[in-house]
Amino acid sequence: MSQNAAPVPPEKLARRTRILTPFFAAVFAAVGVALTGFGLASPPMLAAGITEILLSVLLVVAVFVASPVVRGVALAVAGAGAATAAVLAVTTLPNDLGIAATLLLGIFAMLGLTWFILHSSARAAHPLRA
pLDDT at 93 over 60: yes
By three-state DSSP, how is residue 42 classified?
coil
What's residue 108's pLDDT? Answer: 92
Q: How far apart are CA 120 and CA 57, in angstroms?
A: 15
Q: How far apart are CA 95 and CA 113, in angstroms?
A: 29
SS3 content of the chain, % helix, strand, coil (to 5): 80, 0, 20
Q: Reply yes or no on whether the pLDDT at 103 is more than 70.
A: yes
pLDDT more than 70, % of the chain:
93
- Whether the per-residue pLDDT at 2 is higher than 60: the answer is no
Q: How many CB atoms lie within 10 A of CB 10?
A: 14
How far are the Cα atoms of 3, 6, 104, 112 from residue 76, in angstroms, in the given order?
A: 43, 36, 18, 12
Q: What is the pLDDT of residues 61-91, one digit of tens each?
A: 999 887 889 889 999 999 999 999 989 888 8
